[in-house]
Amino acid sequence: MNKKMTLQIAGVLLVAILIIQILPVYAESTTATELEEQAQSVPVSINAEEAANPMINEQELWGNMDQGIPALMAVSLKVAAKPMQASAPKLDEKKDENKSDDKETNRKPAEPVKVSTAERKSSDEKVSKSPKNVISVNGKPMTFKRSYNMKATSYTDHPSENGWGPIDALGNPLKLGTVAVDPDVIPLGTKLFITGYQFKHLPEGGLVATATDTGGKIKGNKVDIFLPLSQKEARKFGVQDVQVYVLK
């Protein structure tokens, strides 16, 4: 009977030693509750053996184990619990990071700037007030009513070209800037700006003229420009396409 009990005690001690050696390896993966349950299971089995064999001395049962299995298990539990406590702040940090990420992802997009109806009207009025039909005349902006694409010719004060002498239809002396038009298209006395011609004796960029003359052959979209030149030189103008602006 003593040998059997001795073998049982030795087996229990062997199991206890194996548990103590394995605990550091599985400290991180084993929870404190599981270790406590394992520790409690050892003394229960020893107490059961002691109750079944009242003749066994307690000193013989525990041998030289002064601290006992429960004490050793408690130490192991403390060692196993330390890394779990140290890792707890990391979980909190991850939660905080997740919260910050949630805040960033839940940010609302910037709302578009709302423009009031009054501001829109004021901007529309500014656009409508901007000048329209403006042309640069000798570097100065001038407004015109309308424009015409016309055929342009030239004439001089020679009697063969101007039967009533060197004056226009309104009795004014012929000069550079006098033009003959069809009064049904452009009324007499209208201020004009003529561009698009190519002739060295006329101003570059355009001629400011006044419709004060008429001609028998000037009908429809035609304009006859007076040139203070000889007939020979004036004929070099020929017939050209020009743009005629009716100035205000």
Same domain, 60 and 138: no
Domain count, the chain: 2
Tell whether 128 is covered by a domain.
Answer: no
d(Cα 169, Cα 212) in Å, to the nearest integer? 6
Are residue 241 and residue 147 in the same domain, yes or no? yes
Claim to verify: residue 99 and residue 153 sit in the same structural domain: no
Is 114 domain-assigned?
Answer: no
Clarify whether residues 94 and 148 are in a common domain.
no
- Report the CATH number that the domain containing residue 233 is assigned in CATH: 2.40.40.10
User: Confidence class of residue 6 from pLDDT cuts 50, 70 and 90?
Assistant: confident
117 inside domain: no
% of the chain with per-residue pLDDT over 70: 54
Residues 157 and 80 in one domain: no
pLDDT band at 3 (very low <50, low <70, confident <90, very high): low
| Shared-domain flag, residues 11 and 77 | yes
| Whole-number pLDDT of residue 12 | 79
Query: For 122-177, how does the pLDDT look when each residue is reduced to its tens digit (9 = 90+)?
Result: 555 544 454 678 999 988 999 999 999 999 999 999 988 887 789 999 999 999 99
Please check whether residue 127 lies inside any domain of the structure: no
- Comparing 208 with 23, the larger pLDDT belongs to 208
Q: What is the pLDDT of residue 19?
A: 77
Is 80:27 a contact under the CB 8 Å cutoff?
yes
What is the distance between the alpha carbons of residues 50 and 238, in angstroms, rounded to a whole number? 140
Residue 115 lies in a domain: no
**22: in domain:** yes
Verify that 161 and 239 share a domain, yes or no.
yes
Whether 201 and 229 have beta carbons less than 8 Å apart is answered as yes
Is it the case that residue 86 has pLDDT exceeding 70? no
Tell me the average pLDDT of the chain: 73
DSSP bridge partners of 190: 211
Does residue 54 lie in a domain region? yes
| Token output for 243 | 């743009």
pLDDT score at 74: 45
Q: Residue 162's pLDDT is what?
A: 82
Domain that holds residue 163: 133-247
125 belongs to a structural domain: no
The structure tokens listed for 16 are 């206890």
Q: In terms of domains, do 39 and 89 share one?
A: yes
Residue 196 clears pLDDT 90, i.e. is over it: yes
Per-residue pLDDT tens digits for 30-83: 454 554 555 455 444 445 545 555 554 545 444 444 444 444 444 444 544 454
Q: 86 and 19, same structural domain?
A: yes
Amino acid present at 41: S
